[in-house]
Amino acid sequence: MKAKVSGKAAREGRAAKISIRGVSKEFLMKDGKLSALDGIDIDVLEGEFLCVVGPSGCGKSTLLSIIAGLEKPDRGRVLLDGNEVRGPGPDRVVMFQESALFPWLTAVQNIEFGLKMKGVDAKERRLLALKFLKLVSLERFQNSFVHELSGGMKQRVALARALAMEPEVLLMDEPFAALDAQSRDQFHFELQQIWMKTGQTIVFVTHNVSEAVCLGDRVVLLTYRPGKVKKEFLVDYPRPRESRGVPKLAAIASRILSELKVEFERYMKEALHDGRE
Amino acid sequence: MTGESSLTFLVFCLGAVLLWHAVAAAGFWPDYVFPSPTGVFSALVHGIDDESFLHGTIASLKRMAMGFFIALAIGIILGLAISQSRHLERTLGTVVLGVQTLPSICWLPLAVLWFGLSDKAILFVVVAGAVGSITMAISSGISNVPPIFINAARSMGAKGPALYYEVVFPAALPTIVAGVRQGWSFAWRSLMAGELIYVSAGLGQLLQVGRELNDINQVVAVMLVIMSIGFLIERLFFTSIEMDIRKKWGLGAKKA
C-alpha cells in the first residue's frame, strides 16, 4: 500500500522535508535473504512530528538508519529538501535508544561534540551547550561524567546533544524505550513543549502505540517482514497531550493496536515456525 | 596511597627487613649465600655513591625509552592496519597473536645472531617484546568500539581523521592503555635479560658484574633498584592513567 500525503496535511500546503521513495532493504542471513523493508514511500512534512510504529523486526530502525544515511537502501532513495541522501550528516541527527553518549566526556562536552564537528569555536560551543543543557533542566550536571547520570538524565543529555545540532530533521530511535513509565511520561510532555517551541521536523520510531499517538501528528504503521507501509493515522488533537487517559487518543491507539495485532500474530506464527525447524 | 595505607606499608616493610635480619643473623647460611640487610644496604649506598647505579639506570632507561617508542610506533601502525581490514585481521592478526605468545627473551638468540653482542641486539629484543601486546591492544581496542558510538558521531558529522581522533581512540583507550602497559612490562623484562649478556653499561650488566665478583650484596642491591624503577613507572605513569580512565568511565575504584 502506498502512503500518500494526507489530504489534511496537503491542504496546509507544506513542503515535504523528507521524501522516502521506494526504499527496500534486504539482509543476508545464513538461510537466505531477509527482506527487511519493501518499497517504502513516505513523505515527512516540514515541521511534522511523524511516528513510525510496527512489530519488532519490521525494519523501522533500519528505515531510520537509512534516512540518517548510516545504512544504504538496496533500492529506492531518500531525499532531504529534494536532494538525495548519500551518507550521514549533521542535518539528520539520530538519538538512539540507549544513550550513545561518550563516556570519556562530561555532559556538557558531549553536547559540544557535534558543534565541534561543525566547526563552532570553543567559546560559542560552550554557551550553546549550556543553553541546551538548560533546556532539558540539567545545567547543574554539566560537569558530570556519563556514568554519574541516571538513565533518564542520560537521555536528556542525548536529546540536548541532538537539539544543539539544530538539524533539519531529528531522528529518534525508540529513545524512551528503556526508561521507567514515569520518566517516559515526563519526556513525552517535555518533548512536545520543545517541539512546539522549535517546530523541529521529527521522525520518531517506536513499538509503543500510545507513545506514538501521544507524540505524533501522524502515525505510520509498518507490516512485519517485509516492512511495508500498512496504514497511516492522522492524530489531530491539541498539544501538549497527556500520555494517557485521553479518550480520543486512546480510540486512535486501539485502532492502531488492532491492526498491529494482525501483524503480531503473523510474527508469532513465523517465530513458532522458525523455532520448529 | 592515603596516609594511613602508606603507614601500614611502611610498618610492613620494616617488619620484613627485621625478619630478614633475624634470619641472616641466625647464621644458617654463610653471608655470601644469604646476604644481610646491612650488607645489601651498604652495597646500595656504595652503588649510589660511586654513581654506578645512576649511570646504569640512565643507560637502561635510555634503551627502554627508545625501544618502547619504536615498539609504540610499529604497534600503532600495525594495530591500525589490522583493525581496518578483516583479511589483515585473519592473517597478520593471527600471526601477531602467535608471535606474542613467544616469551620475549626467546628473541635474544636470534637478535645476537643478527646483530652480534651489541646495543642493536638489545634494542631489537625490547621492541620485539613490546610490539605484539601493543599491536593487539590497538587493533582489538579499535574493533571493539561499540558501533553506536561511531554511528552517533557520524550522525553528528564526524568523519575521517576527526572521527578517529575524537571518538575511536578515546573509546578504545581503556583497552589500549592495558595493552601498552603489558607491552612495557614485557619490554622491561627483556631489556634486563638482554643487558645481562653483554657489556651494556645498564642495570642488567651491574647485576652480572655482581655475580662475577661473587658479590651477593651488589646483586640484591641492583635487584632492588630494578624493582623500584619498575614499580615507579607502573605507579606514577600507568596507574595514574588507568585511574583517570576508571574515574571518567565509572569502572569502579581499583582495589587499594
Confidence (pLDDT) at A49: 92
The answer on A107 and A235 residing in a single domain is no
Count of positions (residues) in chain A: 277
A89 touches chain B (CB under 8 A): yes
The answer on A107 and A30 residing in a single domain is no
A150 touches chain B (CB under 8 A): no
**Contact list, A96 vs chain B (CB under 8 Å):** 148, 151-152
Position B220: which residue type? V
Backbone angles phi, psi at B16, to 5 degrees: -65, -40
Confidence (pLDDT) at B220: 93
Judge whether A2 lies within some domain. no
How does residue B56 score in pLDDT terms, banded at 50, 70 and 90? very high
Residue B247 has pLDDT above 90, yes or no: no
d(CA B247, CA B222): 36
Cell numbers linked to A222: 509498518
Measured in whole angstroms, how far is the alpha carbon of residue A106 from the centre of its chain?
Answer: 25
CB B134 within 8 A of CB B71: yes
d(CA A206, CA A52): 6
d(CA B241, CA B244): 5
Residue B253 has pLDDT above 70, yes or no: no
Q: Which of the pair, A42 or B200, is modelled with greater confidence? A: A42
Q: What is the CATH number of the domain that holds A45?
A: 3.40.50.300
Domain ranges of chain B: 51-205
Burial (CB count within 10 angstroms: exposed 0-12, middle 13-18, buried 19+), residue B172: buried
**Residues of the domain holding A257:** 7-91+167-276
The answer on A82 and A184 residing in a single domain is yes
A118 touches chain B (CB under 8 A): yes
B19: CB partners within 8 A, 6+ apart: none
Q: Is A207 helix (H, G, I), strand (E, B) or coil?
A: coil
**Contact list, B150 vs chain A (CB under 8 Å):** none
Q: What is the pLDDT of residues B75-108, one digit of tens each?
A: 999 999 999 888 888 899 889 888 888 888 888 8
Question: Taking CB atoms and an 8 Å limit, are B166 and A117 in contact across chains?
Answer: yes
Of B255, B140, B251, B241, whose CA–CA distance to B184 is shortest? B241
CB B70 within 8 A of CB B127: yes
Report the pLDDT averaged over residues B177-200. 87
Categorise residue A95: left if φ over 0, alpha if ψ from -120 to 50, beta otherwise.
beta
Whole-model pTM: value is: 0.81
Fold of B51-205: MetI-like fold (1.10.3720)
Judge whether A45 lies within some domain. yes
Report the pLDDT averaged over residues A164-176. 91
Report the pLDDT averaged over residues A88-110. 90
Secondary structure of B135-180 in HEC code, one letter for each residue: HHHHHHHHHCCCHHHHHHHHHCCCCHHHHHHHHHHHHHHHHHHHHH
pLDDT averaged over every residue in chain B: 89
Q: Strand A218-222 and strand A32-45: pairing?
A: unpaired
Task: Report, in angstroms and rounded to the nearest whole number, the Rg of chain A calculated over CA atoms.
Answer: 19
Judge whether A271 lies within some domain. yes
DSSP state at residue B255: P
The answer on A176 and A241 residing in a single domain is yes
Share of chain B above pLDDT 70, in %: 97
Q: What is the pLDDT of residues A38-91, one digit of tens each?
A: 888 999 998 899 999 988 767 888 999 999 999 999 999 998 988 888 889 889
Residues 160-189 of A with CB under 8 A from B: 161, 165, 171
How does residue B237 score in pLDDT terms, banded at 50, 70 and 90? confident
**Contact list, B148 vs chain A (CB under 8 Å):** 96, 98, 100
d(CA A133, CA A140): 9
Judge whether A136 lies within some domain. yes
**Contact list, A161 vs chain B (CB under 8 Å):** 156
Question: Taking CB atoms and an 8 Å limit, are B156 and A68 in contact across chains?
Answer: no
Counted domains in chain A: 2
The answer on A64 and A48 residing in a single domain is yes
The answer on A33 and A153 residing in a single domain is no
The answer on A85 and A32 residing in a single domain is yes
The answer on A119 and A61 residing in a single domain is no
How does residue A275 score in pLDDT terms, banded at 50, 70 and 90? low
Report the pLDDT averaged over residues B105-119. 89
ipTM: 0.84
A212: CB partners within 8 A, 6+ apart: A51, A52, A53, A204, A206, A219, A253, A256
Judge whether A225 lies within some domain. yes
Q: Select the residue of A145, A147, A165 nearest B156 (Cβ to Cβ).
A: A165
Nearest CA to CA, how far is B140 from chain A (Å)? 18
Count of positions (residues) in chain B: 256
